[in-house]
Chains A and B, each alone.
Chain A
Amino acid sequence: MNDATELLLSLLVLAGAIFTFIGSLGLARLGDFYTRLHGPTKATTLGVGSLLIASAVYFSVTGESLSLHEVLVALFLFITAPISAHLMAKAALHLRLTSLTPLPKETGSEASSESSRNP
């Protein structure tokens, strides 16, 4: 492994770890559930994404052949992270969790479409 690859790998590993850490910091630090939701669902996807790229580069350089299966985990996380975020937000709204901002009116059937017509 030459110096340039090692530098690239170190930067990717550090960036990934920092983003993972910031995501969890947001989870621990922010004020209400809805704002907390933003930290882990975004920062961690990029964090884990760059760690996976680092892993792919590492095993491609050290192994005997190209190693790309890490892309699969990254792809899977990028597809599933928004879905779980959406579902958690939906569950929290369903339970009417308290928020820093006023909650929207009833999110049942008619109310939300009403508010869309007269914003």
Chain B
Amino acid sequence: MNRLLPHPILTPMLALVWLLLNNSMAPGQIVLGLLLGWAIPLFTLPFWPEQVRIRHRRTLLRFSGVVLLDILLANLKVAWLILGQPRTLRPAFVVVPLDVRHELAISVLANTICLTPGTVSAHLSEDRLSLLVHALDVDDQDELVATIKARYEAPLKEIFEC
């Protein structure tokens, strides 16, 4: 089972991408998509040494919902800031100490930070203990760090670790 199907999540994802690319739901395309989804992970196995395990599906769903909502709100906020007075912006570099150790969790966290309210992750320290974040407009730096940790890091830790 594991040898023949090394990445059970990747296979349906690749099949779905194939169907979207062809923009059709014809039975032949579904079979071809599943075939490709089975063959590609098998041939690229050396690039994916460890298996991704998702522990709490419900947390993942809730996390995706929170992130999508935040992207929407973040865009409105950033748009408002750009249209306002650029001189009144208070940009800052903030260091976020990391609790998550899993590599995938760290990269998902960095991506999430880039997509949400006026923050861009700029640098991950060599020892993977802290993430440097640039924020467009900050009131209180400690509050920002606490928000990032509670809102994004805690669910990710629950999803990928524990």
Residues of A within 8 A of B (CB): 19, 22, 25-26, 29-32, 34-35, 37-39, 41-43, 45-46, 65, 67-69, 71-72, 78-79, 81-83, 85-86, 89-90, 92-93, 99-104, 107-110, 112-113, 115-117, 119
Across the interface, name the chain B residue whose C-beta is closest to A71. B20
Binds A, one of B38-46, B53-61, B108-116: B108-116
Q: How many A-B contacts at CB < 8 Å in the complex?
A: 136
Could you list 28 A-B pairs, sorted by A, with CB under 8 Å?
A19-B75, A25-B83, A29-B82, A34-B120, A35-B91, A41-B120, A42-B71, A45-B71, A46-B75, A65-B24, A68-B23, A69-B21, A82-B113, A82-B121, A83-B114, A85-B114, A86-B110, A86-B122, A89-B122, A90-B122, A104-B95, A113-B125, A113-B126, A113-B127, A116-B95, A116-B129, A117-B97, A119-B97
Binds A, one of B1-9, B29-37, B130-138, B147-155: B130-138
Given contacts A43-B82, A69-B23, A72-B20, contact A34 B91 (CB under 8 A): yes
Given contacts A26-B82, A69-B23, A89-B122, contact A119 B111 (CB under 8 A): no
Q: By the criterion CB–CB under 8 Å, are A38 and B120 in contact?
A: yes
Least CB distance, B53 to chain A, in whole angstroms: 21
Determine if B17 is an interface residue (Cβ-Cβ < 8 Å).
Answer: yes
Across the interface, name the chain B residue whose C-beta is closest to A108. B126
Q: Which of B82, B122, B125 contacts A116 (CB 8 A)?
A: B125
Least CB distance, B21 to chain A, in whole angstroms: 6
Q: By the criterion CB–CB under 8 Å, are A89 and B95 in contact?
A: no
Q: Which of A22, A41, A112 contacts B83 (CB 8 A)?
A: A22
Across the interface, name the chain B residue whose C-beta is closest to A115. B95
Q: A101 to B89: give the CA distance in the assembly, Å.
A: 11
Given contacts A29-B82, A112-B95, A113-B126, contact A104 B110 (CB under 8 A): no
Across the interface, name the chain B residue whose C-beta is closest to A38. B136
Determine if B86 is an interface residue (Cβ-Cβ < 8 Å).
Answer: yes
- 7 closest A-B pairs (Cβ-Cβ)? A82-B114, A116-B130, A89-B122, A26-B82, A112-B125, A46-B75, A82-B111
Q: Which of B17, B86, B92, B134 contacts A72 (CB 8 A)?
A: B17
